[in-house]
Amino acid sequence: MAQPSIYKTPVPHKTKDIFKPEKGRLLTVKQVSKILTCGTSHVYNLINFGKLKAIKIGMARGYRIYEKDVEAIMKEFEEADF
């Protein structure tokens, strides 16, 4: 018996390719908080206010942040006058 046509048609991948080697590793919020020496809630605030770019992974997997974006925000913090 032949398989229905739905099994023969490849399903296109709907998500963008998020892995960009030129931007470094993908870090978790906890890893970023250790690098920035702050709490995870501060990292979430940076993400929510648009100061730190992040990628949402699934419903429960949380956010991932590129290493280069963390370096950029560290540089921004160093240049800021407090």
Confidence band for 25, pLDDT divided at 50, 70 and 90: confident
Residues 44-69: b if buried by 16+ CB within 10 A, e if exposed: bebbeeeebbbeeeeeeeebbbbeeb
Asked whether residue 39 is domain-assigned, the answer is yes
How many domains are there within the chain?
Answer: 1
Residue 61 lies in a domain: yes
Residue 4 lies in a domain: no
Task: Give the range of the structural domain holding residue 33, as residue numbers without chain letter.
Answer: 23-79
The pLDDT score that the predictor gives to residue 2 is 54
pLDDT tens digits for 27-76? 999 999 999 999 999 999 999 999 999 988 877 778 999 999 999 999 98
Is residue 57 in some structural domain?
Answer: yes
pLDDT at 11: 46
Q: What CATH number does the domain containing 50 carry?
A: 1.10.1660
pLDDT band at 22 (very low <50, low <70, confident <90, very high): confident
